[in-house]
């Protein structure tokens, strides 16, 4: 938090947006077992020291390659899977210290929409019962829950008169995802985690669902954590973007900053890999080569150094910290550890990453 000094020399704190969710040092390691006694032989470091903040009323998107830890992070912040260690704060309450009863109370205010719109629905339950069940879990009677569920269906563009008594197999993919959104919003949550909510849909339906999410956010004052690998989708819906690589956050910035001028070499390569619809703008070579390292035994220091064209000795010896830069953005890269006067030279070197 930054401060300013008034005419009397007193320090005045600048107002910052209220945080809905904060993580500090969030880790999730999965054990690898084997042998006769099924002993732990290693750990998959899926999420390793993630610091994030989701501010009230914003959409924070998390992007990165498959296997970078995006979805694991989303499930950890809701405690759908238990973090190995770290701090979790939701609306000022410490989630890591909550028991099952207190966690159930808080889950009214944090909901999730999963990637696959079909497998996340019970094929034996009608649509209104699917949405209503979420309400009955939190103590609402079935009659009142069904009435509220029908209101939620109307809100997401599915007429309760036409769709309430249908089953999931009678709906299209886009309609099923609208049901999942209605189920998440029926409890009027403060935070909605959207885990690849449009990746299973075709492009025309994606646009409809994204417009629906934007309208609901505006009308209901929602806060989103949006998980995606589609950079076009992220650019459209995001207020801020966090980029993850091999379990760590490497850059955080506003969507405008990130797409106009990415800083981290991985972010620049990621942006440069976005397919272009212009046939005259085809790439002659891939902006990034090689596979991500093994998360069981990641490289020392910076985890991106094995694929980074700017890797130096310091990158192997010391892990870069996620430091704040000009404009409020953050980046974890030793190229930005130097003094400000070196920045123009660094910018010229980084600009060549996406060049053919």
pLDDT in tens, 331-343: 999 988 754 333 4
**Predicted pLDDT of residue 35:** 85
Instruction: Judge whether residue 282 has pLDDT over 80.
Output: no
Segment 228-255 mean pLDDT: 95
What separation, in Å, do the N-terminal and C-terminal C-alpha atoms of the chain show? 40
Distances (CA, A) of 18 to 7, 237, 251, 291, 323: 27, 20, 21, 38, 21
What are the residues facing 48 on neighbouring strands? 27
Nearest CA among 237, 217, 225, 223 for reference residue 18: 223
Token digits for 34? Answer: 């084997």
Q: Residue 19 burial (CB < 10 Å; 0-12/13-18/19+)?
A: middle
Q: Are 335 and 268 in contact (CB under 8 A)?
A: no
**Could you give the angle at the alpha carbon of 334 between the alpha carbons of 330 and 340, nearest 5°?**
70
pTM of the model: 0.86
| Residue-range domain boundaries for the chain | 19-122+182-260, 261-273+301-356
pLDDT in tens, 30-47: 999 988 888 999 999 999
Tell me the residue ranges of DSSP E strands in the chain. Answer: 3-5, 11-13, 19-34, 39-55, 59-63, 85-90, 93-94, 110-113, 191-195, 223-227, 240-245, 248-254, 323-324, 330-331
The third-level CATH classification (topology) of the domain covering 19-122+182-260 is: Rossmann fold (3.40.50)
State the Cα–Cα distance between residues 116 and 9, nearest whole angstrom. 56
Segment 119-129 mean pLDDT: 93
**Predicted pLDDT of residue 341:** 39
Distances (CA, A) of 186 to 91, 125, 161, 216, 316: 19, 17, 17, 12, 49
Segment 138-143 mean pLDDT: 91
Which is more confident, 170 or 344?
A: 170
State the Cα–Cα distance between residues 85 and 48, nearest whole angstrom. 9
Segment 115-144 mean pLDDT: 92
**Predicted pLDDT of residue 9:** 42
pLDDT in tens, 147-196: 999 999 999 999 999 999 999 999 998 999 999 999 999 999 999 999 99
Q: Are strands 85-90 and 19-34 parallel, antiparallel or unpaired?
A: antiparallel
**Predicted pLDDT of residue 216:** 94
């Amino acid at each position: 938090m930054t401060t300013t000094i008034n005419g009397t020399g007193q320090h005045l704190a600048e107002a910052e947006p209220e945080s809905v969710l904060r993580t500090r040092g969030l880790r999730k390691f999965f054990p690898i077992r084997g042998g006769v006694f099924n002993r732990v032989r290693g750990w998959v470091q899926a999420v390793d020291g993630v610091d994030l903040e989701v501010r009230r009323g914003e959409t924070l998107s998390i992007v990165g390659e498959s296997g970078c830890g995006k979805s694991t992070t989303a499930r950890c912040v809701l405690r759908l899977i238990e973090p190995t260690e770290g701090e979790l704060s939701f609306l000022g309450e410490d989630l890591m210290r909550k028991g099952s009863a207190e966690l159930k109370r808080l889950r009214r205010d944090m909901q999730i929409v999963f990637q696959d719109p079909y497998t996340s629905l019970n094929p034996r339950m009608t649509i209104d019962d699917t949405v209503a069940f979420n309400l009955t879990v939190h103590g609402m009677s079935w009659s009142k829950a069904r009435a509220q569920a029908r209101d939620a269906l109307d809100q997401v563009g599915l007429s309760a008169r036409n769709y309430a008594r249908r089953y999931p197999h009678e709906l299209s993919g886009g309609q099923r995802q609208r049901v999942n959104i209605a189920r998440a919003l029926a409890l009027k949550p403060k935070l909605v985690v959207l885990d690849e909510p449009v990746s299973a849909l075709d492009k025309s339906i994606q646009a409809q669902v994204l417009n629906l999410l934007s309208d609901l956010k505006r009308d209901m004052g929602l806060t989103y954590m949006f998980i995606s690998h589609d950079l076009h989708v992220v650019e459209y819906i995001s207020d801020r973007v966090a980029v993850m690589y091999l379990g760590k956050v490497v850059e955080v910035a506003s969507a405008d900053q990130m797409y106009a001028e990415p800083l981290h070499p991985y972010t620049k390569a990621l942006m440069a890999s976005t397919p272009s619809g212009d046939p005259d703008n085809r790439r002659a070579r891939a902006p990034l080569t090689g596979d991500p390292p093994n998360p069981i035994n990641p490289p020392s220091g910076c985890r991106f150094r094995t694929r980074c064209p700017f890797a130096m000795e310091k990158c192997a010896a010391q892990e870069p910290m996620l430091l704040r830069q000009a404009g409020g953005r953050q980046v974890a890269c030793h190229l930005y550890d130097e003094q400000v006067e070196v920045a123009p030279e660094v910018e010229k070197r980084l600009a060549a990453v996406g060049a053919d």
